[in-house]
Amino acid sequence: MQTTTLDLGPQTAELARVVAGVRDDQLCHPTPCEGMSVAALLDHLVGLTLAFRFAAEKTQFAGGPSADAANLAPDWGIRLPAQLAALATAWREPDAWEGETEVAGVRMPAPAMAAVALDEVLVHGWDLAVATGQPFRADAAAVRACLEFVGDRSDPSQEPEGLFGPVVPVPDDAPALDRLLGRTGRDPGWSST
């Protein structure tokens, strides 16, 4: 996997743009993530942007990302864009790609952890955009890297438990983003209406 040449910046910037478009009256809206509201997804994003930044910096981080609307930081609209920028910056450092690192008790090679971080930002960025009725622009290089990371998922016994939902069938000739969404358990045609 050629993840060391990846820049998380284009996708973190897109997610920051989507976050800026979220209105307070949308916090209770559903998302493509089963049982997760917009507020819960934002809480998850606040936690994962910190956890994966610390992973890049090889700094211990107690706990891991949650997804609880009741825990959403009141300043999420300011905090999240800043944390997204810091996440991209942290993974631009050559040392971030060396050795192993850890998030929420899971250790893996740093390049694989970067792929997880990118997948989280990209896929949850799409989740947030469609849940709040916004357009979403996926970075083509990020989609390719995430497709490689996720794989075809034809053998569920070969993947970490709980990382993705059940595969949603998507035609082989569908756009790359749609194929990624299907492989991560999302219906590319999902709508909150």
What are the tens digits of pLDDT across the range 12-43? 999 999 999 999 999 999 999 988 999 999 99
Confidence tier at 60 by pLDDT (50, 70, 90): confident
Give φ, ψ of 101 to 5 degrees. -150, 175
Domain boundaries, the chain: 3-183
What residues contact 178, with CB distance under 8 A and at least 6 apart? 170, 188
47-59 per-position pLDDT tens digit: 999 999 999 999 9
84-120 per-position pLDDT tens digit: 999 999 999 999 999 999 998 889 999 999 999 999 9
Q: What is the pLDDT of residue 159?
A: 52
Q: What is the pLDDT of residue 53?
A: 96
Q: What is the CATH number of domain 3-183?
A: 1.20.120.450
| Better pLDDT: 160 or 41 | 41
What CA–CA distance (Å, rounded) separates 53 from 33? 23
Do the Cβ atoms of 138 and 13 come closer than 8 Å? Answer: no
